[in-house]
Structure 1
Amino acid sequence: MTLADLDAVVAIEAGAYPFPWTRGNFVDSLAAGYEAWVLEGGGAVVGYYLAMVGVDEMHLLNVTVAVARQRQGLGVRLLDALDARCRELALPMLWLEVRASNERAIAVYLRRGFQPVGRRRGYYPAHQGREDAIVMNRRVPQEARDGLV
């Protein structure tokens, strides 16, 4: 993801969420050096993810597919790309938060091997105040190097 992608990214974000990230959130993430990747289809940005590298872990901050392109396996492609990036950086753990009400996303994460490990109370803005986040994580299989894993 580059600054040139932001018009498309912000439009996808605004179409997908009632409380979207702002352009400033994306600019700040790029300036901070977060892992920021777009998925293109038909010459246009159709999805993206942003993640923060930590010590022995990656934290997924945002993964989104354009509403018109959802249910086509693109979210899974983005998660596969994130897994590959974790392996490249030798980061064995992947973390995320998801709205407690986002049953579709939770089901995808469970199928991808994520496990719920906690809850952040009032983490997300909601129409009626705040909404909890489910904290999930999963181990990222690492390729053996010199007999070590």
Structure 2
Amino acid sequence: MSIRPARAGEAPRLAAIVEAAYGPWVPIVGRRPFPMQDDYAARIAAGQAWVLEDAGAIAGLVVIEREADHLLLDNIAIDPARQGRGDGRALLDFVEAEARRLGLAEVRLYTNLLMERNIALYARRGYAETGRRQEQGFARVFMAKSLSGCAARAPR
């Protein structure tokens, strides 16, 4: 397995993984979660989409945004056929390593309030809830993880 930047032309595969991964949440949330509405071609062009590749096939993806003082984990999705193999852990490890590489001392994320399983997973990974609020019609839970031992430096 390897993690690399997504390439132009891979947006349809990323969107398909997101559709499959987030599809079960639609009846729970009552509408399509925000990642299902994202523009993956634009994310790729901006250098924000990364893929987990195994044997030449894209197994998952992560969308990250660099901010001045933290890395925002905007979206993470694994092909449902591969869930339970540690792919999500590998992508979370990558996000945290990328934040450290960039000299950022924190990773932030948000998830839907009704996605309790995801909130629990992030809490087990050391993310702490920092707030709850309505945004773009979604009830969101905001979380952050301090990356100890990482001194933040000025953005390049």
| TM tier relative to shorter chain | 0.7 to 0.9
Consecutive unaligned residues of structure 1, counting only runs of 5 or more, are: 125-129, 145-149
Deviation of 1:75 (Å): 0.7
**Alignment partner, residue 46 of structure 2:** 32
**Alignment partner, residue 78 of structure 1:** 91
TM-score normalised by structure 1 residue count: 0.82
Deviation of 1:119 (Å): 0.8
**Alignment partner, residue 16 of structure 1:** 21
Give the percent of matched residue pairs that are identical in Structure 1 and Structure 2: 33
Which amino acid is the alignment partner of residue 21 of structure 1?
Answer: M
Report the Cα distance in structure 2 between the residues aligned to 1:131 and 1:98, rounded to whole angstroms. 9
Deviation of 1:90 (Å): 0.6
What do you get for the CA RMSD once the two structures are aligned? 1.8
Equivalent pairs counted in the alignment come to 136
Confirm whether residue 139 of structure 1 aligns to residue 146 of structure 2. Answer: yes
**Alignment partner, residue 4 of structure 1:** 9
Consecutive unaligned residues of structure 2, counting only runs of 5 or more, are: 1-5, 27-31, 152-156
Which amino acid is the alignment partner of residue 141 of structure 2?
Answer: I
Runs of 4+ aligned structure 1 residues displaced above 3 Å come to none
> Are residues 77 and 116 of structure 1, via their aligned partners in 2, closer, same or farther at CA, if it must alter by over 3 Å?
same
SS at match of 2:141: strand
Residue 111 of structure 1: which of 124, 138, 143 is its match? 124
Q: Pick the structure with more strand per residue.
A: 1
Asked if structure 1 preserves the Cα contact closer than 8 Å seen for 2:11 and 2:44, the reply is no
TM-score normalised by structure 2 residue count: 0.79
Deviation of 1:12 (Å): 0.5
Report the Cα distance in structure 1 between the residues aligned to 2:59 and 2:40, rounded to whole angstroms. 16
1:55-112 CA distance string (max 9 Å, x none)? 1210111101111111222111100011111111011011111111112211110011
Deviation of 1:38 (Å): 0.3
Deviation of 1:134 (Å): 0.3
